[in-house]
Structure 1
Amino acid sequence: MPKQKLRAIIAGLALLNLLTIVIFVIKPLIISKSVIGEETVAKIGSTDISREAWINELEKRYGEDVLEEMVDKEVVKQAAEKYKVKTSDEEVDRELKMMKTMYGTAGQTLNKSTDQLRQEIQSSLLLEKLLTKDVSVSETAMQKYYDDNKDIYRIPTTYHISHITSSTKKQADQIINELEKGVSFAVLAMEKSLDEFTANQGGDLGYISQDNEQVSKEYITAAEKLKVNKWSGPVETDEGWAVLYLHEKIEGNQYTYDEVKDQIHRQIALEQIQSPVSGKIFWDELDVEWFYGLKEQK
């Protein structure tokens, strides 16, 4: 997956987070504006900050970006229906696997569900197909692109792992004993793991590939033997001991030319047209009216 697409998807997910915040804040306001407007969300000495002032600040900072994201998603959806452009589950699955294995710590950094990631990828694919639907790329050029960039279309076997670290095997055994009694792995990681950075994430290390040199080889060896949604026995490392939990395993694969031919066509076509990967190109066509900030524009 091209890096610019990763950035676009990550930016989209960030905006989705902001949208969620705004929805949960503004919904009560719509129901009871007079009450909410007077509600205090913070006090500094004798000075109050009202919920209404907070909402206004959120809208001022993020409102335009969030609204534009919402408009773009609907524009892409309607344009795809108009031009009969579709994506398959297979395409989305492949892009998702490539995203996870390439980005590495996606689980930890994005903290988004698989459904949310799939929706973002599907929208991104539809937009790319719409922008490149009339661009011609020769078979020779696509085959050469594949031959020159085969590594892009290879995913290594990858594991989504969480861990709880300890200084002794005895402590690791105690952690396993608590897991067997039904205590949540994430809760134990937050309470007991010596790795402060991942402890705050419930021990989540993200997606780790077999060829990742930054992770202990003992982790990969242990993960290879684990079943999904199971934890390991005590794993000895150079820093001490650890207990691992396997969330997901992605089998390695080298995608063939035929499998990624359409993806290559889009990539080359996007480079040829040199236009921003944005749904704005369809705004006029779909009669978008923009009233943000009391100004109307097309």
Structure 2
Amino acid sequence: MKRNFLFGVIAVLIITNIATLLFWRTDKNVVFEDGNTEIDSREPVATIDHKKIKYEEWMNALRENYGREQLQRMIDREVVLQLAAEQDIEISEKVISREISLLTTMQGVMSEKETKAREKQWRKDILYRYQLGALLTSDVSVPEKKIREYYKDYHDQYNFKASIQLSHIVVPDRQTAGKVMNELEKGSSFELLAREYSHDDETKKDGGYLGFFVDYSKFLPDGYAKKAMKLKERSYSEPFKSGGHMAIIYLHRKLPDIKFSYEEIKPYIKRELALGKTTKNLDAKVLWNKLDIDWVYE
């Protein structure tokens, strides 16, 4: 069943979604989607010596340089969304969780607010990518034997191993550890205290940040993994002895194991193998002819 894109809606969307930034206007203010950036549209957006760049000039430049590409991306996503709904293409929450966990381990420290915002966007991107792959390969057949062989050889790559994200403060004695704990309990920043007190030169400048760890026993100092397992996310431990020093650790994130059976991952392996067989790129433009699309550039 074909559906129409309303020309008027598209015209509004191109303006309000330029350069992937959504904003709303009051009489004079523009507030961007992140909620943190607000500007007065009547004032210059930049001043270089005495040369001023007006808000309207900025918006016009964005429309001219990015308008077509951005509008095409928006149409791509709507095409995939509609066709996936028509064909009942659903993506497993387990697969989405795995993808989000992988992306999370590639980030540094994020606040709870930042985490929610990132995960919301990642979810949209993951759904789009998997639904697009399913649509592009719906008419491509892959033998069951080939899927099973691929799963046997590469099934581990689809699983996600439990990971923890840590920072630490290393001090020479209990007295200093007590001082750090006192400041933490008063609400001081763990990162700033690490910069001030920690004796670990490798992580001090980064606020004590250690990173994500999968194999806890190999790469973490004594006692870290055991202490981390007892902590809630975004909380710190009591001081404990480790390697001749006193340590306080901060658990940012704790990501659980995600493992797939053959039946759970089979549809996704099939699509992956099918994409390898087809000459189609992962491009939604080839699906446009399945819907009635009218847009300002054509």
Q: Do the two structures share a fold, i.e. TM-score over 0.5? A: yes
When structure 1 is superposed on structure 2, of 216-225 and 144-153 the one drifting more is 216-225
Q: What's the counterpart of residue 7 of structure 2? A: none
Deviation at 1:63, TM superposition (A): 3.5
Distance 1:283 1:168, change over 3 A: farther
How far, CA to CA, are the matches of 2:43 and 2:75 in structure 1? Answer: 31
Deviation at 1:133, TM superposition (A): 1.9
AA aligned opposite 2:279 = Q
Distance 1:232 1:271, change over 3 A: same
Q: What's the counterpart of residue 210 of structure 1? A: 215
Q: What's the counterpart of residue 104 of structure 1? A: 105
AA aligned opposite 1:52 = E
Distance 1:40 1:91, change over 3 A: same
AA aligned opposite 1:265 = K
How far, CA to CA, are the matches of 1:74 and 1:87 in structure 2? Answer: 16
AA aligned opposite 1:174 = K
**Residue number among 288, 292, 295 corresponding to 1:283 in the alignment:** 288
**1 or 2 for the larger relative contact order (CA 8 Å, sep ≥6)?**
2
Q: What's the counterpart of residue 113 of structure 1? A: 118
Distance 1:206 1:216, change over 3 A: closer
AA aligned opposite 2:47 = K
Q: What's the counterpart of residue 141 of structure 2? A: 136
Pair 1:149 & 2:150 matched: no
Deviation at 1:234, TM superposition (A): 3.7
How far, CA to CA, are the matches of 2:217 and 2:56 in structure 1? Answer: 48
The higher radius of gyration belongs to 2
**What residue ranges of structure 2 are gaps of 5+ in the alignment?**
1-16, 30-38
> Given the two structures, how large is their TM-score scaled by the length of structure 1?
0.71
> Given the two structures, how large is their TM-score scaled by the length of structure 2?
0.71
Deviation at 1:206, TM superposition (A): 5.2
Deviation at 1:237, TM superposition (A): 7.0
Tell me the alpha carbon deviations over residues 62-103 of structure 1, each in whole angstroms, 9 at most, x when there is no partner: 444433322221111111122222223233224333x24xx7
Tell me the alpha carbon deviations over residues 10-36 of structure 1, each in whole angstroms, 9 at most, x when there is no partner: xxxxxx99523xx23xx33x8559x96
Whether the aligned pair in 2 keeps the contact of 1:75 and 1:283 (CA below 8 Å) is yes
Name the one with the larger helix percent. Answer: 1
Distance 1:175 1:282, change over 3 A: farther
Whether the aligned pair in 1 keeps the contact of 2:47 and 2:53 (CA below 8 Å) is yes
Q: What's the counterpart of residue 95 of structure 1? A: 99
Distance 1:45 1:71, change over 3 A: same
Deviation at 1:48, TM superposition (A): 1.5
Q: What's the counterpart of residue 80 of structure 1? A: 84
Deviation at 1:104, TM superposition (A): 2.9
**Residue number among 248, 259, 265 corresponding to 2:270 in the alignment:** 265
Task: Give the length in aligned residue pairs.
Answer: 264
